[in-house]
Structure 1
Amino acid sequence: MDLHLTDRVAVVTGASAGIGRSTASALAAEGAHVVMVARRADELTAAAEEIERTHGRLPLVVVADLVEVDAATHIAAAVRAHHGRLDVLVNVAGAAEQPGTVLTEEIWQRQFELNFHAKRRLTEAVLPLLEASGRGRVVNFVGLLEPTVVSAAQAAVAACILWSKALARTVAAHGTTVNCIAPGRVDSEQVRRSLPDGEAKQAFIRQRIPAGRFGKPEEAAALVPFLASEQAGYITGDTISVDGGMHWSI
């Protein structure tokens, strides 16, 4: 299937590792001009160089910490200066507090900054470019849908999902779609910190993941090129789980 993404411009946050890195690679494989955003300059540059070796085009690298209020305008300015337009925004960057963390006011504020406000600010900053495209796409990675304990990150995820649905209705007349992807346990740095290899991980899989394994970053990323495509132009305001059935077994 030709997804018609050749020469489309796509911004991917959290692009130095995990799902973000796989998403950038998946879009580049479809011929898109990718703008990779992350905090860690060395890892981000290495990821961009790997994409160039694999797909023949060097992505634009923008080093930014998305919880900084001016990061969104910085990224938007870099996109305008380098490409002059934007077709796709993929908000991947996010993180959850470790299980058992005492939820202080600082943690609540930081989780909402990273998992909701950072996505909102960047989307708002580039929305004029997306609307000018005539077929803009916003994809927000939001994490697990069903809470098992009180979690600041999951509360922020809920805010992001509701905001995304409302935004989808607001921008639909411009041909712009807004969707969320809710990955379950995907093998990544963050997940390995909370569930390293061992019996606890295997017990978690047995109890909660019918597919019998953690997902791969590229499996979560694989949905993005389709949602970014013309074929997905009538899909908006939705949240799609990529979790091996995990959300049915909690």
Structure 2
Amino acid sequence: MDLMLEGRRCLVTGASAGIGAAIAEGLAREGATVVATARRQDVLDQWAEGLEAAGVRRPLTVTGDMTDARQIGRIACQAAQLAGPIEVLINCAGGSRPVTLEDGEEVWEEAMSLNFTAGRRLAEHVLPAMREARWGRIINITGLMEPHFLNAALAAKAALHLWAKGLSRDLAKEGITINSIAPGRIESEQVQRLYPESERAAFIERYIPAGYFGEPADLSNLVVFLASPLARYITGTLIPVDGGMSHKGA
């Protein structure tokens, strides 16, 4: 199936590894012009070189800290300078932030900045060009809605869900779709750290009907479709990619 992404200009955050890297690769394999951003230039360069060696169009790269409002503006500006006006934004940067009642305000502020405010601000930078073109895609990689314990990142992701839902209603008539994807246990640096091999079998047996942790490609395949013109009638959604985990109370 031709997803009609050839030449589409895409910006992917959190793209140096894991889910973000898989999404950026998936878009590049469809012929999109991809700008990948993350904090680690060396990792970004190594990843981009690997794709180029495999015959995939090499992504453009921009480094920056998504918790810094000034750097978010710079990232958006550099991405547009490198590729042209951004048509597809993938907000993937984020990370779990377990907290306790004793943690200070700065912990909550950092979690909200990374997991909600950064994505909102970046969208606000790229939306004028999308609105002028009357076409655009914003896709947010968010988080679970059934927390097992207090986690500041999940509170921030909940805010991202509702922000995206409201914005999708405002912009639907302008040809801009906005969707969110809630990953379950997808193999990544963070998941490998939090779920050692000795604990996985019991977790899977209890919570994941599919019987295994997902791979980044399991999620990126959906993102690439939602980024395409073929997904024009899908907006304002929250789609779990979790092997059925959310349906077992995990």
- Indicate whether the TM-score tops 0.5: yes
Gaps of 5+ in 1: none
| Paired amino acid for 1:195 | Y
**1:101 CA displacement:** 9.1
> For 2:62, what is the secondary structure of its paired residue?
strand
Residue 77 (structure 2) aligns with: 77
Residue 137 (structure 2) aligns with: 137
TM-superposition CA deviations, 1:70-108 (whole Å, max 9, x none): 122111211221222111000111100258796432221
Residue pair 2:139, 2:178 contacting (<8 A) in 1 also: yes
**1:4 CA displacement:** 0.3
| Paired amino acid for 2:210 | A
**1:54 CA displacement:** 2.5
> For 2:54, what is the secondary structure of its paired residue?
helix
In the TM superposition, what are the counterparts of 1:187-206 in structure 2 within 5 Å? Answer: 187-198=187-198, 200-206=199-205
**1:134 CA displacement:** 2.5
TM-superposition CA deviations, 1:28-86 (whole Å, max 9, x none): 01000000000011111111112222244221100011001112211121122122211
Q: 1:54 to 1:93 in 2, by over 3 A?
A: same
Deviates more, 1:75-84 or 1:37-46: 75-84
Residue pair 2:85, 2:126 contacting (<8 A) in 1 also: no
TM-superposition CA deviations, 1:98-124 (whole Å, max 9, x none): 587964322211110111001001111
Q: TM-score, structure 2 length as denominator?
A: 0.95
**1:130 CA displacement:** 2.1
Residue 153 (structure 1) aligns with: 153
In the TM superposition, what are the counterparts of 1:9-158 in structure 2 within 5 Å? Answer: 9-98=9-98, 103-158=103-158
Identity in percent: 47
Count residues in correspondence.
249
Residue pair 2:98, 2:151 contacting (<8 A) in 1 also: no
> For 2:11, what is the secondary structure of its paired residue?
strand
Residue pair 2:98, 2:152 contacting (<8 A) in 1 also: no
Q: In angstroms, what is the RMSD of aligned CA positions?
A: 1.5
Residue 8 (structure 2) aligns with: 8
> For 1:144, what is the secondary structure of its paired residue?
coil
Residue pair 1:99, 1:194 contacting (<8 A) in 2 also: no
> For 1:70, what is the secondary structure of its paired residue?
helix
Aligned partners of 1:134 and 1:53: how far apart in 2? 36
Q: TM-score, structure 1 length as denominator?
A: 0.95
> For 1:62, what is the secondary structure of its paired residue?
strand
